[in-house]
Amino acid sequence: MGALLELEGVRCGYGQTRVLHGVSLSVGEGDIVSLLGANGAGKTTTLRAITGGLRWDGSITFAGRSLKHLGTEDIVRLGIAHVPEGRGVLTELTVDENLRLGVYLRRDSTSFARDYDRVFELFPILRERRRLSASTLSGGEQQMLALARVLLMRPKLVLLDEPSLGLAPMVVRSIFEVIRTINQTDGVAVLLVEQNARIALELSAHAYVLEVGRVAVEGPSSELKGEESVRRSYLGY
């Protein structure tokens, strides 16, 4: 099966500073792939390049289609959901309004209600807080809101930028359970950027390790987890 998302020799940066020096990676349909590496390795930049947040050279294709000249809105419309650093929750709006924006692009209005029910089943706390401003949610609840919105968007691929950042270990575990659910029951492919390499490798089938803008190591997660040298030099545990 052809890859859903394919990056080849992607180079980009901010102004004069080059951050990615030719990154190649691929995510197959229904896969969970981890993108690991230290601070400043270019993980977030890779995700931003995919959804058109900055200009890049090289090639990025999604479902066989080049993303070269597409704006962020059009890339999202192809079926890529991106939960950015800071979770992309719209704190000026209520929880319910955030969820409604998840179905903003959808035209199949009949199945909304069912999806809403399902989201509230997965995240009962969001039903309780529906009418509250999203800014009143805790970090973990905001992350749940972001994931709930992804579920409503029904994407083919979701890009997650450090979903564990700043969350208590218990919360991290439940967040990752939800990611697994999204992947398994909805068949959504996941590209997961994480600092927490241990938990990311447990979830993903395949992993890439970035080092200063290049892929230093790649392979099945189970192998990367097992190799002492890789763990020591790149993953820090």
Partner 1 sequence: MQEFLQQVVSGLATGGIFASLALALVLIYNAMGLVNFAQGEMAMFATFIALVLIDRGLNYWIALPVTLIIAFAGGVLIQRIVIRPVERAPVLTLVIVTLGLATLVNGMAGFLFGYVPHSFPTPFSAQTVNIFGALASYQDLGVIAVSGVVLVLIYLLLQRTTLGLALRAASHHPDASRLLGIRVSWMLALGWGLASAVGAVSGLLAAPILLLQPNMMQTVIIYAFAAAVLGGIESPLGAVVGGLIVGVTVNLAGAYVPGVGGDLQLAVAFAIIIAVLVLKPNGLFGRAGVRRV
Residues that bind partner 1 (CB under 8 A): 51, 53, 71-73, 76-77, 81-84, 86, 88-93, 97, 100-102, 104-105, 135, 149, 153
Q: Which of 181, 222, 174 is nearest to 198 (CA)?
A: 222
> How far, CA to CA in Å, does 41 sit from each of 106, 131, 132, 235?
35, 39, 37, 12
Nearer to partner 1, 1 or 69 (CB): 69
Nearer to partner 1, 191 or 224 (CB): 191
Nearer to partner 1, 51 or 221 (CB): 51
Q: Minimum Å distance from CB 71 to partner 1?
A: 8
Nearer to partner 1, 38 or 105 (CB): 105
- Calpha distance 206→198 (Å, rounded): 13
Contact 13, 20 (CB under 8 A): yes
Helices marked H in the chain:
43-50, 72-77, 95-102, 112-122, 124-128, 139-153, 169-186, 197-203, 221-226, 228-230
What is the four-CA torsion angle of 10, 51, 81, 9, rounded to 10 degrees? -10
**If you ran DSSP here, which 8-state letter would residue 133 be given?**
B
Q: Minimum Å distance from CB 87 to partner 1?
A: 9
Both tokens of 126, joined, read: 């969001």
Q: Minimum Å distance from CB 94 to partner 1?
A: 10
Nearer to partner 1, 59 or 133 (CB): 133
Q: Minimum Å distance from CB 42 to partner 1?
A: 19
Q: Minimum Å distance from CB 109 to partner 1?
A: 11
Phi and psi angles of residue 201, each rounded to the nearest 5 degrees, phi first: -70, -30
Both tokens of 192, joined, read: 């997961």
Query: Hey, which residues does 21 pair with through a beta bridge?
Result: 11
Nearer to partner 1, 20 or 152 (CB): 152
Nearer to partner 1, 8 or 73 (CB): 73
- Calpha distance 61→35 (Å, rounded): 18
